[in-house]
């Protein structure tokens, strides 16, 4: 019986320790963003890496998501004779949920995993220790630009995802399934409110911080060689993806 | 400094009269446990200014940990580390970084950015920590690359270089900020004897020119005795012997003699 309580206690203490250290890691990394030197070039590099280089996969995913939504939505709405609402269904689904969530998942897969691997390799090759020895704060140099890059790029990618998704839905709904183009865009304009767009952007902003936080933290704390880098990268993708989905539920509950 | 040291050969470094200055680094009663193991157990040690001090000992004895304490990368559980009389563990992060601006550090693996060219690696501290223009940076980096015998490698990447060349690039980076003290963590481990001696000679020549305080962890026994003024022998987290090289070499401590000669028989029996 005592051993059970000991295990529970040890697990709880470890959990608190991880929460505390990850929280401090985020707070200090955010604080470093506001302290000179600002290294704008490194921030631009990260915006390019997270944003521009993810553009292709975002456009591809968004267009097929919009197309699938249009097919599914059309066949469901037809049962109720409401095919004209297809534009609203596609737009609201993308703006409120699918846009922020799928963009975040794509960025995790493409850029987040690379962030973890890159920082992890710097850790195991001793470069992070060397930076510290050179009196260059490693978190300011490695983590803060990536956080800023994510926070700038992810909401923009989300906006692009939504627009491309709506166009994908239009292509299938209007072009292939014969929905009236006026209905498609007109109903969309009537049903989408600013709160929907703001909610979607708030989510993408929150997911951006989450991705930057988890992926850099996992990389920064990589141990035990090349295998450790692999483990950290896998763990970063799994943990941040799950947190995005859990966070989506919580934010949806709060925002609605 | 050429007046202090005969320019002809490295042998005889240890015969120099020690400067009267107080030690630049002083460890007092340093105790540190890592992962539940006592790594340093009451280390008290002085590092003289403007001399080459080499720390030797068995693997896992705590040599690199001593070095990391001097740089402030590891904090002791007990004891103090003084730099010019200032306890570095009482410094704020800003104060510690200001202190580290006086250091150059060369790590065992080089710790270079693989994604940067040799030139950019050496220029990195200058770009990050100074306001120098690109012209001045180029002039300084090229001069240092020439000094370490790599004048035409600026455009190459670290993975295009041999192990010895990587160490030399790391040495150039360690010197680029004109430090007062340079720390070396096993700068020649794993290199063939010719490259190893070339690097040791390069360190010695660099010392002749700049008279840095150099602290080096090394396994190059007995070659290293020709290249250092002071020797520190570490055994299981304690200082077994420390002082001018000649006096440590004359030590009657059985462990020190076993280590110096590489004897299988002695107080340390691994098999």
Q: pLDDT tens digit string along A117-144?
A: 999 999 998 899 999 999 899 999 999 9
Confidence band, pLDDT 50/70/90 cuts, at residue B262: confident
Query: Does residue A18 fall inside a structural domain?
Result: no
Domain count, chain A: 1
Distance in angstroms (rounded) separating the CA atoms of residues B137 and A105: 42
Range list of β-strands (E), A84-200: none
Query: Does residue A124 fall inside a structural domain?
Result: yes
Residue B15 pLDDT > 80: no
Question: What is the secondary structure of B152-200 as a DSSP string?
Answer: T-TTS-GGGS-HHHHHHHHHHHHHTT--SEEEEESTTTT--HHHHHHHH
Nearest-CA distance B125 → chain A (Å) = 7
Distance in angstroms (rounded) separating the CA atoms of residues B167 and B189: 10
Q: How many CB atoms lie within 10 A of CB A254?
A: 9
Using CB atoms, pick whichever of A37, A127, A135 lies closest to residue B111.
A127
Is B73 in CB contact (< 8 Å) with chain A? yes
Confidence band, pLDDT 50/70/90 cuts, at residue B224: confident
Q: Which SS3 state, helix, strand or coil, does residue A37 take?
A: coil
Q: Could B125 and A127 be called an inter-chain contact, meaning their C-beta atoms sit closer than 8 Å?
A: no
Is B189 in CB contact (< 8 Å) with chain A? no
Sheet holding B181-185, edge to edge: B103-106, B181-185, B213-217, B52-57, B230-235, B238-244
Greater pLDDT, B69 or B1:
B69
Chain A residues whose CB is inside 8 A of the B109 CB are 125-126
Nearest-CA distance B100 → chain A (Å) = 6
Distance in angstroms (rounded) separating the CA atoms of residues A29 and A146: 10
Range list of β-strands (E), B48-136: 52-57, 78-83, 86-87, 103-106
Query: Does residue A14 fall inside a structural domain?
Result: no
Distance in angstroms (rounded) separating the CA atoms of residues B4 and A255: 75
Is the bond preceding residue A37 a cis peptide, omega within 30 degrees? Answer: yes
Distance in angstroms (rounded) separating the CA atoms of residues B212 and B230: 14
Query: Does residue A13 fall inside a structural domain?
Result: no
Chain B residue with minimum CA distance to A126 = B111
Which residue ranges of chain A lie beneath pLDDT 70?
Answer: none
Q: Could B111 and A135 be called an inter-chain contact, meaning their C-beta atoms sit closer than 8 Å?
A: no
Give the ipTM of the model, two decimals please.
0.82
Nearest-CA distance B260 → chain A (Å) = 30
β-bridge mates for residue B30, sequence order: B43
Distance in angstroms (rounded) separating the CA atoms of residues A180 and A186: 10
Using CB atoms, pick whichever of B101, B108, B183 lies closest to residue A135.
B101
CB pairs under 8 A between A and B: 45
Judged by average pLDDT, the poorest of A203-217, B117-131, B169-183, B254-268 is B254-268
Kindly report the pTM of this predicted structure: 0.83
Contacts of A139 by beta carbon, 8 Å cutoff, 6+ apart: A25, A28, A29, A32, A220
Chain B residues whose CB is inside 8 A of the A125 CB are 109, 111, 114
> Mean pLDDT, to the nearest integer, of B178-197?
84
Is B131 in CB contact (< 8 Å) with chain A? no
Pairing between strand B52-57 and B213-217? parallel
Distance in angstroms (rounded) separating the CA atoms of residues A156 and A50: 11
Chain B residue with minimum CA distance to A135 = B97
Chain B residues whose CB is inside 8 A of the A134 CB are 100, 105, 125, 128-129
Nearest-CA distance B263 → chain A (Å) = 33
Q: Which residues of A158-189 are buried (b: 16+ CB within 10 A; e: fewer)?
A: bbbbbebbbebbbebbbeebebeeebbeebbe
- Name the token pair of B267: 């107080």
Q: Do A30 and A147 meet the contact criterion of CB atoms below 8 Å apart?
A: yes
Using CB atoms, pick whichever of B93, B100, B114 lies closest to residue A133.
B100
Distance in angstroms (rounded) separating the CA atoms of residues A23 and A81: 51
Chain B residue with minimum CA distance to A123 = B111
Contacts of B138 by beta carbon, 8 Å cutoff, 6+ apart: B123
DSSP assignment, residue B73?
Answer: S
Say what the pLDDT of residue B9 is: 41
Q: By C-alpha distance, which of B127, B126, B122 is closest to B153?
A: B122
Q: Write down the CATH number for the domain with range B1-64+71-102+182-271.
A: 3.40.50.300
Confidence band, pLDDT 50/70/90 cuts, at residue B190: confident
Is the bond preceding residue B222 a cis peptide, omega within 30 degrees? Answer: yes
Say what the pLDDT of residue B14 is: 52
Greater pLDDT, B141 or A1:
B141
Q: Do B122 and B141 meet the contact criterion of CB atoms below 8 Å apart?
A: yes
Distance in angstroms (rounded) separating the CA atoms of residues A97 and A81: 25
Sheet holding B37-47, edge to edge: B37-47, B25-34, B78-83, B86-87
Contacts of A3 by beta carbon, 8 Å cutoff, 6+ apart: none
First to last CA, chain B: 46
Residue B219 pLDDT > 50: yes
Domain limits at A106?
Answer: 44-255
Say what the pLDDT of residue B4 is: 39
Question: What is the secondary structure of A80-97 as a DSSP string?
Answer: TT-GGGHHHHHHHIIIII
Place of tokens 């989905």: A245
Residues carrying CATH 3.40.50.300, chain B:
1-64+71-102+182-271
- Name the token pair of A83: 């095919």
Query: Does residue A15 fall inside a structural domain?
Result: no
Chain B residues whose CB is inside 8 A of the A127 CB are 111-113
Q: Which SS3 state, helix, strand or coil, does residue B203 take?
A: helix
- Name the token pair of B243: 């002082």
Distance in angstroms (rounded) separating the CA atoms of residues A53 and A39: 21
Q: Could B112 and A127 be called an inter-chain contact, meaning their C-beta atoms sit closer than 8 Å?
A: yes
Chain A residues whose CB is inside 8 A of the B100 CB are 133-135
């Amino acid at each position: 019986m005592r051993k059970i309580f000991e295990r529970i206690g040890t697990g709880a203490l470890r959990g608190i320790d991880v929460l505390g250290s990850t929280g401090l890691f985020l707070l200090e990394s955010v604080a470093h963003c506001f302290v000179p030197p600002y290294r704008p070039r490194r921030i631009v590099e990260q915006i390019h890496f997270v944003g521009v280089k993810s553009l292709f996969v975002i456009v591809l995913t968004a267009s097929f998501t919009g197309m699938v939504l249009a097919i599914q939505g059309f066949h469901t709405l037809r049962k109720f004779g409401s095919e004209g609402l297809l534009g609203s269904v596609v737009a609201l689904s993308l703006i409120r949920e699918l846009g922020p969530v799928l963009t975040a998942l794509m960025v995790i897969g493409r850029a987040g995993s690379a962030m973890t691997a890159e920082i992890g390799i710097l850790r195991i090759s001793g470069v992070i220790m060397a930076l510290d020895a050179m009196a260059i704060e490693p978190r300011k140099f490695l983590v803060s630009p990536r956080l800023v890059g994510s926070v700038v790029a992810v909401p923009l990618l989300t906006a692009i995802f939504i627009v491309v998704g709506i166009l994908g839905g239009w292509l299938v709904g209007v072009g292939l399934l014969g929905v009236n183009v006026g209905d498609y865009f007109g109903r969309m304009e009537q049903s989408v409110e600013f709160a929907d767009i703001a909610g979607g952007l708030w989510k993408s902003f929150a997911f951006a911080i989450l991705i930057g936080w988890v992926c850099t933290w996992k990389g920064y704390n990589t141990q035990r060689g090349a295998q450790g880098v692999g483990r950290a990268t896998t763990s970063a993708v799994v943990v941040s993806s799950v947190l995005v989905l859990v966070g989506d539920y919580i934010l949806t509950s709060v925002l609605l | 400094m050429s007046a202090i040291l005969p320019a002809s050969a490295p042998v005889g470094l240890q015969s120099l009269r020690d400067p009267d200055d107080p030690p630049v680094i002083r460890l007092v009663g340093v105790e540190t446990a890592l992962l539940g193991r006592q790594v340093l157990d009451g280390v008290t040690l002085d590092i003289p200014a403007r001399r080459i001090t080499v720390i030797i000992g068995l693997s896992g004895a705590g040599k690199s940990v001593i070095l990391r304490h001097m740089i402030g990368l590891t904090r002791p559980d007990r004891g103090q580390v003084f730099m010019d009389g200032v306890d570095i563990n009482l410094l704020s992060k800003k104060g510690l970084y200001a202190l580290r601006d006086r250091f150059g550090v060369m790590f065992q693996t080089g710790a270079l950015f693989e994604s940067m060219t040799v030139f950019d690696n050496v220029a990195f501290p200058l770009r990050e920590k100074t306001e120098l223009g690109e012209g001045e940076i180029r002039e300084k980096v090229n001069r240092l690359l020439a000094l370490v015998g790599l004048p035409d490698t600026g455009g190459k990447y670290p993975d295009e270089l041999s192990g010895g060349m990587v160490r030399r690039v790391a040495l150039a980076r360690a010197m680029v900020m004109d430090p007062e003290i340079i720390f070396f963590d096993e700068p020649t481990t794993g290199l063939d004897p010719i490259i190893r001696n070339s690097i040791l000679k390069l360190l010695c020549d660099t010392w002749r020119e700049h008279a840095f305080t150099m602290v080096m962890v090394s396994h190059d026994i007995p070659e290293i005795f020709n290249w250092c003024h002071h020797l520190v022998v570490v055994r299981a987290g304690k200082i077994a012997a420390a002082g001018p090289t000649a006096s440590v070499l004359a030590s009657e401590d059985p462990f020190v003699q076993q280590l110096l000669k590489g004897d299988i028989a002695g107080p340390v029996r691994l098999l």
